[in-house]
Structure formats: structure tokens, C-alpha cells
């Protein structure tokens, strides 16, 4: 982890102020992306498509786990840029979006450019991330078949949390931590660098991501500075386990 830097924090704060001043016309409950629309909506067995979708909650809805300014900058600046750049890469590299889902694109990402890899991954990962958040509550935990599978594969929910948090904390630099469902229906934990994910044919561990945690600094720096473990601890209370259960049930 990089040491705390007041210059870095001031830079991010200035970006945040700019984001707020230029996004007042965007309603918090329907923050629409400014990226161009792409024809086609092939999804396969995954609900994530090529367009950035409106948030289903306000920027302040995940507080105190994630502050409103971070959510707004993250969604309107970082994630919107991935969607915009993905649209450009799709056009430049002649991807048939009416016949190829984003998940299918990622499964063959080694055939495409670095721009496609970074932005298809970044778009997919963030769309999944927004859906996996909800208003925080103490004692937040999964239930039903997902909880049963977690206990089966990790012995207990607490053991799972410990292993997942370690994967998130130890990911060097920028990246993601994942709960992945493998083809043999087991749940495993992995992490990936940058905007890679387990759907990619380049991933060390391949499978269907049912839950992902963004550990890029822009996801937490305004509130937590260099204290990534504190961010991870707070995030557990904001996981939308109902959504994760739905994804788990797809396989």
C-alpha cells in the first residue's frame, strides 16, 4: 500500500469538487452515464450489458461504509469512463454486440487490445459492484443456499470473511477481490490485478464472479486514505447478499 500523501488526497478532493459542480443536473437515484449507447443487449446468463446503468440508490445510500462524494466520483467519472472507452473499443474492433455478451467478450479477451481488456473489465466489474451494494446494516450475512455453500466450502462464514479480506488486503496495487463459483459448483476466493476478472481467459483462476470488491484507491481514498483494511471491514455491512444469492443461483 502507498503511504498517505496530502498531495494525493488534495488532488482527489479537487476532482471530487469538480465532479459535484458538473453533475448537479444528475438525479441521485437515476444517475445516467454520459457514455454513448451501443446497439445490442446480448447477455447470455449474465445480466450485465454494454451500457452503464443508472444507480438504483442515491450516492449517500451506502454511508457510512462508503461516503457520498466517493460514490459520485467513482460512478460518474471512473466507471463512466470505462463505459465510454469500451464503446470506442467495441466500434474500433468490430465486436457484434447483438450476438456477443460482455461475459462472452471477456471469455475471449486475449484476442483483443489492451484498451478492450482494461475497459471491458472495468465496465463489467463496476456494474457488478454497484449491484452488490445496499444500505449498510450490522450483522449483515447471507442466507439460504448461498450461506450453506459458503459454510461447506469455507467451514464458516467468519472463516470465509477472513480469507476474502486477506485476498483484498494483499492484492498489491490496484485490483479486485472475488468470490467465484467454479464449473464444479464450488465457491473459491481469488484476486485480480487492475480491471481483470475471473471471466477472462487470461485469469489465473477462472469462474463465474458472484461477488467482487473494488480495492483501487479511488474506491476508498477520500474516507479511508491508505487504510484499506478499514474500508474492507466497513464494506461487509453494505454487501447486498440478496443480489449475490441471485447470481449464485444462476449456475
Distances (CA, A) of 161 to 106, 175, 236: 27, 18, 8
CATH of 144-248, one of 3.40.630.30, 3.10.20.30, 3.55.40.20, 1.10.10.10: 3.55.40.20
- What pLDDT score was predicted for residue 17? 44
Residue 149 CA, distance from chain mean position: 22
Domain boundaries, the chain: 6-131, 144-248
- What pLDDT score was predicted for residue 249? 83
- What pLDDT score was predicted for residue 30? 32
- What pLDDT score was predicted for residue 247? 94
- What pLDDT score was predicted for residue 47? 79
Describe the strand order of the beta sheet including 208-214 as a list of residue ranges.
187-193, 175-181, 208-214
- The three grid cell numbers given for residue 55, joined into one nine-digit string: 444507480
* CATH 3.40.50.2000 is the classification of domain 6-131: no
- What pLDDT score was predicted for residue 46? 67
Please give the average pLDDT of every successive group of 10 residues along the chain, which has 251 residues.
Answer: 46 46 34 31 61 97 98 98 98 94 97 98 98 96 96 98 98 97 94 98 96 97 97 98 92 70
**Among candidates 150, 238, 214, which has minimal Cα distance to 188?**
150
Exposure on the CB side of residue 164, measured as CA atoms within 13 A? 25
Q: Determine the Cα–Cα distance for residues 127 and 247; give it in Å rounded to an integer.
A: 13
Confirm if 122 and 79 have CB atoms less than 8 A apart.
yes
Residue 65 CA, distance from chain mean position: 15
- What pLDDT score was predicted for residue 103? 96
Amino acid at each position: 500500500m502507498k503511504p498517505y500523501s496530502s498531495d494525493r488526497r488534495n488532488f482527489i478532493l479537487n476532482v471530487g469538487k469538480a465532479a459535484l459542480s458538473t453533475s448537479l443536473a444528475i438525479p441521485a437515484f437515476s444517475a445516467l452515464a454520459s457514455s454513448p449507447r451501443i446497439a445490442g443487449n446480448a447477455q447470455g446468463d449474465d445480466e450485465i450489458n454494454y451500457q452503464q446503468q443508472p444507480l438504483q440508490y442515491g450516492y449517500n445510500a451506502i454511508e457510512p461504509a462508503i461516503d457520498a462524494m466517493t460514490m459520485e466520483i467513482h460512478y460518474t467519472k471512473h466507471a463512466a469512463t470505462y463505459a465510454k472507452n469500451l464503446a470506442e473499443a467495441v466500434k474500433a474492433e468490430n465486436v457484434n454486440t447483438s450476438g456477443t455478451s460482455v461475459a462472452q467478450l471477456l471469455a475471449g479477451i486475449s484476442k483483443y487490445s489492451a484498451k478492450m481488456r482494461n475497459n471491458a473489465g472495468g465496465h463489467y466489474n463496476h456494474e457488478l459492484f454497484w449491484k452488490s451494494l445496499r444500505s449498510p446494516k450490522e450483522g449483515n450475512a447471507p442466507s439460504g443456499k448461498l450461506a450453506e455453500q459458503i459454510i461447506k466450502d469455507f467451514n464458516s462464514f467468519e472463516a470465509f470473511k477472513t480469507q476474502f479480506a486477506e485476498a483484498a488486503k494483499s492484492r498489491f496495487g490496484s485490483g479486485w477481490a472475488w468470490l467465484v463459483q467454479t464449473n464444479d459448483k464450488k465457491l473459491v476466493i481469488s484476486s485480480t490485478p487492475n480491471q481483470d476478472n475471473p471471466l477472462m481467459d487470461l485469469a489465473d483462476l477462472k469462474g463465474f464472479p458472484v461477488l467482487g470488491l473494488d480495492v483501487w484507491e479511488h474506491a476508498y481514498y477520500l474516507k479511508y486514505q491508505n487504510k484499506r483494511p478499514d474500508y474492507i471491514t466497513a464494506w461487509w455491512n453494505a454487501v447486498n447478499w440478496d443480489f449475490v444469492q441471485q447470481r449464485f443461483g444462476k449456475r
